[in-house]
Amino acid sequence: MSAAAGRPPAPLDVLTFGETMLAAQLPGTLAVGAQARTTVAGAESNVAIGLARLGHRAGWAGLVGDDEPGRLVLRTLRGEGVDTTHAGTHPAAPTGAMLREQRVADLVRVHYWRSRSAASLLTPADIAPALGDGARVLHLTGITCALGPGPLETVRAAAAHAHGRGWTVTLDVNHRNRLWTAEEAGRALRPLLPHLTVLIASDDELPVVTDAFTDTADGEQRAVEALLDTGVREVVVKRGSQGAAFRDRHGARHSVDALRVPVRDTVGAGDAFCAGYLSGLLDGLPPTGRLARANTLGAFAVASDGDWEGLPRRDELGLLAAAPGTAIR
């Protein structure tokens, strides 16, 4: 046996966990005979796929049901290069599901079936093995916290574990009004703030995790300063078509404009943005470089169908610089 064969595996670049679901995507409204495209989707696994496509070692440690949708989820993630060594299967609870309708123009309506799903029963014990193997970055989202008391406890335990061992801990607020109110989300997420290295939020999500209101001229600035005062090292604000901004505890401020692309599907753009930012962080890029890569992946997402299917490989990061209608031969 070689020396390498006896060594434990190298820690992942990024570890994440949450709910990945069976997804049916309709080109129009739900109707008898409507043709749906079957895929899988989940905020954390979308990020993991985006990172894996860029050559990073990304792992997903969520729970799926012992059913065909669960097997599809795991096959898809493995096929995209995501490490699922510590993904679990619940023997009794099902894999969650979602239905997405292209209602009109680029307006999308999403329906979920996740009550008592396998992911909603996640506990700290389920991800302990993955945490034990280590990672450079732990990526969390507010969606997992909203699934139930077990997932919330799991996120809190994971954040404390990672912070205590010096990992980079990132949180995408990712607030969903249909899962919980802003007040409920705030009570759940604010205890995480002292453990965070990077907090990512859209401009309208900042009030969820602060007492500041962002509808005034200096509201966003006060919200960001409040977050930095809790110990968060970096705050990244997503502004959609207006680009993104960065602030850190040392007073650095940066902003980068969004790329202009035809919009086909906005679902998954925030996850793509997170994957791009984390990729830049792992590659040691400066803040403006991280924001630019985040905006690039977000642009790939909105210009493609599906949550993650159009995300780029590393050698494709420059494709959007080509003139519209270019044929690359």
> What pLDDT is attached to residue 324?
81
- The answer as to whether 23 is a domain residue is no
Q: Are 308 and 272 within 8 A, CB to CB?
A: yes
- Three-class DSSP category at 75: helix
> What pLDDT is attached to residue 216?
65
Give how many domains the chain has, as a whole number.
1
* Region of poorest pLDDT, from 29-38, 75-84, 121-130, 284-293: 29-38
- The answer as to whether 178 is a domain residue is yes
Question: What is the per-residue DSSP string for 93-124?
Answer: SPPPEEEEEEEETTEEEEEEE-TT-TGGG--H
- The answer as to whether 247 is a domain residue is yes
Q: What digits encode the pLDDT tens for the residues 51-95?
A: 999 999 999 999 999 999 999 999 999 999 999 999 999 999 999
Determine phi and psi for 142, rounding to 5 degrees: -65, -20
Q: Are 15 and 38 within 8 A, CB to CB?
A: no
Could you give the maximum distance between any two Cα atoms of the chain, in Å?
A: 65
- The answer as to whether 2 is a domain residue is no
Q: Are 235 and 276 within 8 A, CB to CB?
A: no
Average pLDDT of the residues in 140-157: 98
> What pLDDT is attached to residue 154?
98
Share of the chain above pLDDT 70, in %: 95
pLDDT band at 7 (very low <50, low <70, confident <90, very high): low
- The answer as to whether 110 is a domain residue is no
Burial of 315 (0-12, 13-18, 19+ CB in 10 A): exposed
> What pLDDT is attached to residue 329?
80
Share of the chain above pLDDT 90, in %: 84
Q: Is the pLDDT of residue 3 over 50?
A: no
Q: What digits encode the pLDDT tens for the residues 272-296?
A: 999 999 999 999 999 999 999 999 9
Distance of alpha carbon 107 from alpha carbon 184, whole angstroms? 27
Range of the domain at 220: 10-18+43-86+115-307
Assign residue 249 the CATH number of its domain: 3.40.1190.20
Q: Crossing angle, helix 124-133 and helix 149-164, to 10 degrees?
A: 20
Average pLDDT of the residues in 134-148: 98
Distance of alpha carbon 66 from alpha carbon 7, whole angstroms? 31
Q: Is the pLDDT of residue 217 over 60?
A: no
Give the CA angle between residues 138, 157, 223 to the nearest 5°.
65
Catalytic residue among 13, 126, 271, 307: 271
Q: What digits encode the pLDDT tens for the residues 231-270?
A: 999 999 999 889 999 999 999 999 999 999 998 888 899 9
pLDDT band at 218 (very low <50, low <70, confident <90, very high): confident
- The answer as to whether 1 is a domain residue is no
- The answer as to whether 96 is a domain residue is no
Q: Is the pLDDT of residue 199 over 90?
A: yes
> What pLDDT is attached to residue 205?
95
Neighbours of 139 (CB within 10 A): 28
> What pLDDT is attached to residue 8?
65
Distance of alpha carbon 135 from alpha carbon 294, whole angstroms? 21
> What pLDDT is attached to residue 327?
86
271 is catalytic: yes
- The answer as to whether 141 is a domain residue is yes
Q: What is the rounded end-to-end Cα distance, in angstroms, of the chain?
A: 46
Average pLDDT of the residues in 155-161: 98
Average per-residue pLDDT for the chain? 93
Q: Is the pLDDT of residue 145 over 90?
A: yes
Q: What digits encode the pLDDT tens for the residues 309-323?
A: 999 999 999 999 888
* Region of poorest pLDDT, from 1-5, 50-54, 69-73, 150-154: 1-5
- Three-class DSSP category at 208: helix
Q: Is the pLDDT of residue 2 over 50?
A: no
Question: What is the per-residue DSSP string for 135-200?
Answer: EEEEEEEHHHHHT-HHHHHHHHHHHHHHHHTT-EEEEE----TTT--HHHHHHHHGGGGGG-SEEE
> What pLDDT is attached to residue 326?
86
